Amino acid sequence: MKIVTCNSNTSLAESIAKKLKKPLCKSIIKRFADMEIFVEILENVRGEDVFVIQSTSYPANDNLMELLITIDALKRGSAKRITAVIPYFGYARQDRKTGPRTPITAKLVSNLITNAGADRVLTLDLHAGQIQGFFDIPTDNLYSAPIFIRDIKKNYKKNITFVSPDVGGITKARDIATHLKSDIAIMDKRRAEPGKSEVMNVIGNVKNKTCIIIDDIVDSAGTLCNAAKAIKKKGAKDIAAYITHGVFSGKAIARISKSPIQRLIVTDSIEPMQSTENSAKVSVLSVATLLSEAIKRINFEKSVSVLFD
């Protein structure tokens, strides 16, 4: 087994390699003067089972190109099998046509990764489950729910209601609520344009409850903070949020700091920024153990789904 990392989340890659007791493969990823990307793998990978770790987070286009070029370099180096380990799969929110003459970019990116030479994909909490079907190669979609459940059990004991900030997140919220034998509530949201949303109604009882918002992505934090304000008006006692991918674009951290949310937990699928680490409200849980166990199982040709049985 060889583990290669690109530049988007080196700290997570190092943690995964440490848990697998394997050194990271030596490589060079640099820019030419015109910002073209150059990749060179400095170790022999012929006949190896290679795992390339790269989140396609900000800057999404640069990180995506790094991944594609690294896969191509490994393919031309005669690697036996290449698995793209993508803790955060960018462009996943464009998973269907939202209007006339709009792209399905999640499918386009899936094609790019496959055509670059990847034999398999390992990712975490895809924005939409159907994206697995966009790939023509085996794709394992891991879930952060077990990590969140352990932390929720540790910090919250009773009177909990899990809140989905929109209809699309009901399944994720319901799965965690069912496991912890708790109630759920749903936000009725209207999105006027990308990045802007308005909460219209709260469906479910949140009065005097500890409300935990469950979602897969926090980007500008507009949806999250609007949801928190809405359930606070409905009488929620305490508000927390567990969200897999912390994108935190623009003034997201500032919005969260001013919101009724008392605690926001994200994973390190995207490398935390300085502002995230300095925020009193934001905590980070690592997915290194989960990803390293999945990598080990793929390498030994064992089932990955048993991790969630």
Q: Are residues 17 and 70 in the same domain?
A: yes
Give yes or no: residues 15 and 139 share one domain: yes
Based on the domain organization, do 157 and 276 belong to the same domain? yes
**Burial degree of 86 (CB within 10 A; 0-12, 13-18, 19+):** buried
Q: Assign 167 a pLDDT band (cuts: 50, 70, 90).
A: confident
Task: Residue 240: give the domain boundaries.
Answer: 145-285
Q: Same domain for 17 and 128?
A: yes
Task: Select from 149, 142, 210 the least CA-distant residue to 178.
Answer: 149
Do 250 and 184 share a structural domain? yes
Cβ neighbours for 293, distance < 8 A, ≥ 6 positions apart:
307
Please confirm, yes or no, whether 233 is among the known catalytic residues.
no
86 and 217 housed in the same domain: no
Q: Do 53 and 85 form a contact (C-beta atoms < 8 A)?
A: yes
273-294 pLDDT, tens digit each:
988 889 999 999 999 999 999 9
One-letter amino acid for residue 252 of the chain: A
Question: Could you tell me if 237 and 277 lie in one domain?
Answer: yes
**Residues 270 and 198 placed together within one structural domain of the fold:** yes
68: CATH: 3.40.50.2020
Least confident of 62-71, 133-142, 222-231: 222-231
**Same-domain pairing of 171 and 238:** yes
The answer on 160 and 258 residing in a single domain is yes
Whether residue 205 is found in the same domain as residue 161 = yes
Q: List the catalytic residue out of 107, 172, 189, 209.
A: 189
pLDDT tens figures, 71-116: 999 999 999 999 999 999 999 999 999 889 999 999 999 999 999 9
> Are both 104 and 185 inside the same structural domain?
no
Counting the structural domains of the chain, the total is 2
- The model's pTM is 0.93
